Amino acid sequence: MRRIVSTALTVLMAFSLMLSLSTTANANALAGGGNSSSYSGESVFTNQPAGGSGQFSAIFFNDGSTTWSPGVVGLLVCLADKTTCNVTSPNAAYASGWFSATVYATVSATVPPGSNGFFIYNFVVPAATPAGTVATFNGDVGLIASGLEFRPQGYFQINTTPGGTSGGMTLTPTSASLPVGGTQQFTANNVPAGATVNWSVTGGCGAITSAGLFAATATNSATQPCSVVATAGAATASAPISVFGPATQIACSANPTSVTGNGVDTTTITATLKDANGNTVTNASGTSINFNNNTPTLITPTGQTVATSSSGVATVVYTTVAGSGAGTAQVSVASGSLTGCNQTVTVNAVGAATKTTSTFSPGTIAADGASAARLRVIVTDANGNAITTDGSTQITVSRSSGASVCTPGSLGPTTVTAGTANFTITSTTTPGTCSWDATTNNTSIAGSSATLTTIIVGAPNKLAASTSQSPAQAGCQTTDVTTCPFTVITVQDANGARVTNPSFGGQAITASFAGTGCTGVGATANPVNTGTTPSTAGRATFTFTSLTTTTGCTVTFTPGGTLAGVSTTTTSIVFTPGPAFGLACSFTPGSIFADGSSTSTASVKVVDVNGNATNAGTYSISFSKTSGTAGTVLLTSSPQNTTNGVATFTVRSTATTIGTDTYTATGTIVGTTTSNATCPVSTK
């Protein structure tokens, strides 16, 4: 409230007394009945720009004889005369989550007589607010239900929209999310010449030094915004801050939330780790999160359903089940003791058949008289969803142009199976384009057309590699290749055109691995496809599997057979750790001298199901000697929290005792199940 605050407390008290006496005849009656308040303090005035958000807090002392309760006692809105209260604010456009149109906020907790009550409310500066606008928020404490004031104090706070002379001052970073106890260095850019930058924090989530180093001291939330503010002369810039605590819950979301049960549409379910205030715990990486599909008849996961969080977020992709019809799909998400969540997705039934779609694959082939392309015609509903259950519609294709460019394969009326028909179109030696029309025996289904391009292609000259799904989690095997990395190798001429001539089909291409980063990586491959599969002619697909992690495995692809001499190509495959599953333990060194001073350090690592270190997550690990004759002594306190998935413990030998001791590490890694790992250390 910017009331008179000076070193002379008596001046402040006298001012309050005069203000009280001068307002006894205000427009609002007083509550009486033991209700009374006196001003104690408030947060600083703000300089939020147009579109910016801020927070005010006011403190009033309960000097009456009644207890203030949330929802009963509030900070009433007053007009500029400071006597007309419990009215709609002149700054109503600034309101952000106020208690009501006439009350800024209620007390945040029960306030007995002789205690301070805190009133906290947020505001958002309207986007079109002109520079230099001064918004004054007047208020006083009173009863929410009746609007009766306790004892008028003339409280007010001000936000001044920065002027236009800032020169575009900004902050780096523009926002920050960090845990309690974390720090973030801020820098002001485009500071007006000769001006000194003054730093402050609004919202009470931390403190900042004169050099712009912010320290997070308390969690906040979306309803308790907090910002770092820099002021230099007439220029002001701010950056929103999110200070989070430990993860307590999981929030679910889906994108999109409505799909069609056509066996093609996908939806991504996202799980976000949140603290008690709803802030994303952005340092939570390595947490195993289980995605349980409650409606397998509607959707199915495209990969593993145990995902590992990265920066507090994990996702799983689901594909609709073809022909499932309409319904509501549901996925339940859980992780250990965290409060889980459920996410629903609307699945729409495929509509009635209304049209066809026609596509060539590949869309361009060699004009060599041998290469072929697949013409696929699909019966769909009005939204383009395939009619997968249609077994009666006949599709006929006919060439409408380009007779010298391409020739038909086996055509004629064809009864569609599952709503789809495939036709083979072969090139001539004349380059150009040819178009094909598709019609059906059902006049209510619209036809379609597609165009094929043929070009002059040179002799095979080089290989090209296109890799997908890398990085992937270690543990991907041939039994679950949907999550494995794969590389498509294309045979190209000197100009990069794909060589689709089937005479190059069936030729061997081998994959070789270089460096220690490829340890444990395997590959399964198809030969270069023949013309009998025209959509993939001139290509070979390699799928990679590994139980171990890699830092980057370089794979070289070398052609053979009639393609020998064609240039090789390379790609990089990465396997990352899977979800945290258990513990592994080892001592370094494993043997120490029995001299009473030698030490060895045990590294306890959080590992996935295949024993790969996860290098992430925070877990409490207990460590103790469970057997042995070496007489070593544990020097490190137990338990210890892991850092980047590792906790360390140091032991020391005793003089003259020779033998081997076994230590056991214990922690809860998945759910409520206890994980153990043992490691020996010997003395000599």
CATH of the domain at 544: 2.60.40.10
The mean-pLDDT minimum among 160-164, 348-352, 575-579, 602-606 falls in 160-164
Q: Is residue 50 part of a domain?
A: yes
Task: Give me the CATH number covering residue 234.
Answer: 2.60.40.1080
Q: Is residue 567 assigned to a domain?
A: yes
Instruction: Tell me: pLDDT of 122 over 70.
Output: yes
Please report which helix (H) or strand (E) contains residue 18, including its range. Answer: helix 9-22
In a domain, 498, yes or no: yes
Residues 24 and 154 grouped into a single domain: yes
392 and 447: one domain? Answer: yes
Of 190-194, 406-410, 581-585, the poorest mean pLDDT is in 406-410
Q: pLDDT tens, 456-509? A: 988 889 999 888 888 887 877 655 556 778 888 888 888 888 888 766 666 778
63 against 539, higher pLDDT: 63
CB 261 within 8 A of CB 324: yes
Classify 303 as helix, strand or coil.
coil
ω into residue 49 within 30 of 0, thus cis?
no
Q: Does 64 lie in the same domain as 118?
A: yes
Q: Does any domain span residue 370? A: no
Q: Which residues of 330-366 are buried (b: 16+ CB within 10 A; e: fewer)?
A: ebebbbbebebbebebbbbebeebbbbbbebbbebbb
Domain boundary, last residue among 160, 192, 217: 160
Residue 434 has what pLDDT?
95
Residue 142 has which token pair? 């009173």
- How far is Cα 457 from Cα 418, in angstroms, rounded to an integer? 36
Q: Do residues 377 and 423 touch, judged by C-beta distance below 8 A? A: yes
Please count the helices (runs of H) and the strands (runs of E) in the chain.
1, 53
Per-residue pLDDT at 607 exceeds 50: yes
Same domain, 653 and 589: yes
325 plus 442 within the same structural domain: no
Question: Residue 533: pLDDT above 60?
Answer: no
- Shared-domain flag, residues 15 and 156: yes
Mean residue pLDDT across the chain: 83
Do 300 and 388 reside in the same domain of the chain?
no
The three-class DSSP label of residue 504 is helix
Whether 220 is in a domain gets the answer yes
Under DSSP, the state recorded for 482 is: G
Please say which residue of 224, 244, 264 terminates a domain: 244
In angstroms, rounded to a whole number, what is the distance separating the alpha carbons of residues 600 and 33? 73
Sheet holding 103-106, edge to edge: 103-106, 73-78, 134-143, 155-160
**Whole-angstrom distance, CA of residue 199 vs CA of residue 142:** 35
Lowest mean pLDDT among 67-76, 533-542, 619-628: 533-542
- pTM, two decimals, is 0.51
Omega before 173 cis (within 30°)? yes
Residue 608 has pLDDT above 70, yes or no: yes
Residue 301 to residue 551: CA distance in whole angstroms: 27
* 3-state SS assignment for residue 585: strand
pLDDT, position 430:
93
Say whether both 142 and 176 belong to one domain: no
* CA-based radius of gyration for the chain: 35
Going by C-alpha positions, the residue among 356, 359, 348, 349 that lies closest to residue 380 is 356
Structure tokens that stand for 458 in this block: 């040179």
Question: What CA–CA distance (Å, rounded) separates 161 from 208?
Answer: 22
Position 372 in a domain: no
- Strand segments, DSSP code E, in 275-431 are 288-293, 299-301, 306-308, 313-320, 327-334, 341-348, 355-361, 364-366, 372-380, 394-401, 406-408, 414-415, 420-427
Strands 472-473 and 575-576: parallel
Q: What is the pLDDT of residues 373-391, one digit of tens each?
A: 889 999 988 888 888 666 7
Number of domains forming the structure of the chain: 6
**pLDDT score at 418:** 61
Parent domain of 331: 249-348
Kindly state whether residue 2 falls inside one of the protein's structural domains: no
What percent of the chain has a predicted confidence (pLDDT) above 70?
88
Residues 138 and 17 in one domain: yes
Quick one: 143 and 253 in the same domain?
A: no
Residue type present at position 601: T
Q: Which residue has the tokens 């002619």?
A: 537
Q: What is the DSSP string of 64-116?
A: SSS-B-TTTEEEEEE-TTSS-BSS--TTGGGEES-SSSSEEEE-SS-B-TTSE
Residue 362 preceded by cis peptide, ω within 30: yes
The last residue of a domain, from among 576, 594, 617: 576
> Do residues 221 and 129 both lie within one domain?
no
- Asked whether residue 42 is domain-assigned, the answer is yes
Question: Which structure tokens are listed for 42?
Answer: 């408030």
* Residue 521 clears pLDDT 60, i.e. is over it: yes
Residues 572 and 595 in one domain: no
